[in-house]
Amino acid sequence: MRIDYTPQLDFKDVLIQPKRTTISSRSQVLLERTVTFPNTTATWTGVPIISSNMDTTGTFELYDVLSQFKMITCLHKHYTLDDFKSRYETAPLNPEYFMISTGIGQESLLKLQELVNFSKAKWICIDVANGYMSRVVEYAITIRKLFPDKIIVAGNVASKEMVEELIINGKVDVVKVGIGPGSACLTRRKTGVGVPQLSAIIECADAAHGVNGSIIGDGGITCPGDLAKAFGGGADFVMVGGQFAGHDENPGTIEEIDGKKYKLFYGMSSEHAMKKHYGEMATYRSSEGRVIRVPYRGALKTTVQDYLGGLRSTCAYINAHNIKNMPKCTTFLMVGQQLNTHFEK
Where does 226-324 show beta strands of DSSP type E? 237-240, 255-257, 260-266, 291-295
The catalytic position among 74, 185, 204, 315 is: 185
Q: Rounded distance, CA 54 to CA 280, Å?
A: 18
Residue among 40, 57, 102, 187 flagged as catalytic: 187
Cα–Cα distance measured from residue 200 to residue 179, given in angstroms and rounded to the nearest whole number? 9
The backbone region for 320, taken as left when phi is positive above 0, alpha when psi lies in -120 to 50, beta otherwise, is: beta
Active site residue 187: yes
CA atoms lying within 13 Å on the CB side of residue 197? 29
Going by C-beta distance under 8 Å and a sequence separation of 6 or more, which residues neighbour residue 324?
A: 33
Main-chain dihedrals φ then ψ at residue 317, nearest 5 degrees: -70, -30
* Alpha carbon distance 246, 294 (integer Å): 5
60: Cβ contacts below 8 Å, ≥ 6 apart = 75, 87, 93
Q: Is 314 considered catalytic here? A: no
Q: How many CB atoms lie within 10 A of CB 280?
A: 8
Taking the C-alpha atoms of residue 317 and residue 308, their distance in angstroms, rounded to an integer, is 14
Tell me if residue 316 falls in helix, strand or coil: helix
Degrees, nearest 5: CA angle 99-103-108: 95
Specify whether the CB–CB gap between 34 and 249 falls below 8 A. no
Which active-site residues does the annotation give?
185, 187
